[in-house]
Amino acid sequence: MKIAFIGLGVMGAPMSRHLVKAGHDVAGYDVHPPAVEAFAADGGLAAASVREAVDGADVVMTMLPNHPQVEDVVLGDHGVLDSAGTGTLLIDLSTIRPETSATIAAKAAGQGFGALDAPVSGGQTGARQASLSIMVGGDENDFAAARPLLETLGTPRHVGGPGAGQVVKAANQLVVAGIYALVSEAVVLLEGSNLNPATGLDVLAGGLAGNRILDLKRESMLAREFTPGFRIDLHHKDMAIVLDAARRADVALPVTGLVAQLVAAGRAMGYGSLDHSALLHVTEALSGR
Ligand code: NAD
């Protein structure tokens, strides 16, 4: 297949390479030229613009930071809808607000394009290992067409109509941030009680409190190793999506509201470019540690 992949950052870089390795003809574009050069060095085709990347593409994939970038790339002048051929399938892998995905799907359908929202979970490790959990919103026939490609990147699941993938991803992000906040509190309690935190967290990981964040991140958190991974700035963006989705659904999420403020504090304290496990710094600061 001829694929355009736009956004070759932390996640897009390994994902686009999996598609190349699977034998597809992949044209990559990013506003950051070194990302495009690195992609070409790994066997991809370098594109100098969105228009050039999507020329003749069967499928266009986007993996961009947030909705303004997705709107710009998809709906903007010389964007995907302007430049790709009718019948092209757009798969947006970015985490953005559900209403933007729904708007894009409606505009795309009006112009004869298919469009799916397909945000992912599993982080940089999941992207590298092609083991992402992929939540897909949109038309079922479009999902069936996209499925083999998405299976190159992880495990896709159709969860509903346009925007539904983003709502499931919002639920995922509130759980992840909440667990980071609680693991941070466990660390502060153990260290504040002069206990060995590594031993304590090992015990937690083996019992009912066990979870994947404890499995994957407890060592790096105890070592205060916060190289991203998933930046606090991006999780702050996601918590706004979660709270907005809750408002639209007319539901109250009180714990999420509190956790969103802790993530906001991390950003305000200057940790925005650190991994989201650096929420530990915020919890420590609350105890003067
Ligand atoms: P990133 O910032 O590393 O990558 C985004 C890339 O998009 C960058 O290379 C940037 O130069 C490029 N870009 C920005 N605007 C552009 C434009 N107009 N045209 C072309 N390229 C443009 O971010 P990331 O960590 O790869 O995350 C991408 C998306 O995936 C976000 O929505 C994020 O919330 C989501 N996500 C990230 C992770 C993670 O662990 N990093 C996990 C799951 C989901």
Chain CA centroid to CA 69, Å: 14
| Ligand 1 in reach of 69 Cβ (< 6 A) | yes
| Ligand 1 in reach of 7 Cβ (< 6 A) | yes
| Ligand 1 in reach of 120 Cβ (< 6 A) | yes
Q: Which residue's CA lies nearest to atom 15 of ligand 1?
A: 69
Cα(1) to centroid(ligand 1), Å: 23
pLDDT tens for the chain, residues 1 to 289: 999 999 999 999 999 999 999 999 999 999 999 999 999 999 999 999 999 999 999 999 999 999 999 999 999 999 999 999 999 999 999 999 999 999 999 999 999 999 999 999 998 999 999 999 999 999 999 999 999 999 999 999 999 999 999 999 999 999 999 999 999 999 999 999 999 999 999 999 999 999 999 999 999 999 999 999 899 999 999 999 999 999 999 999 999 999 999 999 999 999 999 999 999 999 999 999 9
- Measured between alpha carbons, how far is residue 109 from residues 7, 105, 172, 256 in Å? 23, 6, 28, 34
Cα(65) to centroid(ligand 1), Å: 4
pTM here?
A: 0.95
Cα(188) to centroid(ligand 1), Å: 32
Q: Residue 229 has what pLDDT?
A: 86
Q: Residue 192 has what pLDDT?
A: 98
Q: Which residue's CA lies nearest to atom 42 of ligand 1?
A: 123
| Ligand 1 in reach of 32 Cβ (< 6 A) | yes
- Measured between alpha carbons, how far is residue 101 from residues 3, 22, 117 in Å? 20, 27, 6
Cα(10) to centroid(ligand 1), Å: 7
Query: Looking at the DSSP assignment, which residues form a beta bridge with residue 132?
Result: 154
